């Protein structure tokens, strides 16, 4: 079974998860999309997929900007981990 089959967003309007901005009405849309994600049983799988796929929109309860920041933080810690293991 695919994790998407259990996603809370399956019954929602897909447009909710693709806001046109991060301010004004877009901010309210982001909050509404994240509220759906908060009640989702497959949120972690969704986030993992989004981090690996670098997709647009709200996935796993995060915005594109939030996911880029996560990837940057991970990349910053990767060299230190490798040096420590050597």
Query: Could you give the residue ranges of the DSSP H alpha helices within the chain?
Result: 25-38, 43-53, 64-85
Q: Reduce the DSSP state of residue 40 to 3 states and report it.
A: coil
17 annotated to bind ligand: no
30 annotated to bind ligand: no
29 annotated to bind ligand: no
35 annotated to bind ligand: no
Give the Cα-Cα-Cα angle 19, 68, 6 (nearest 5 degrees): 60
User: Annotated binding site for [4Fe-4S] cluster, which residues?
Assistant: 9, 37, 40, 46
User: Annotated binding site, which residues?
Assistant: 9, 37, 40, 46
């Amino acid at each position: 079974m695919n994790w998407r089959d259990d996603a809370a967003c399956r019954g929602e309007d897909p447009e909710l998860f693709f806001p046109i901005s991060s301010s004004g009405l877009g901010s309210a849309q982001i909050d509404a999309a994240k509220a759906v994600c908060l009640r989702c049983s497959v949120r972690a799988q969704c986030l993992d997929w989004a981090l690996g796929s670098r997709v647009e929109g709200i996935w796993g309860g995060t915005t594109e900007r939030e996911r880029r920041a996560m990837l940057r933080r991970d990349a910053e810690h990767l060299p230190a981990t490798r040096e420590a293991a050597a």
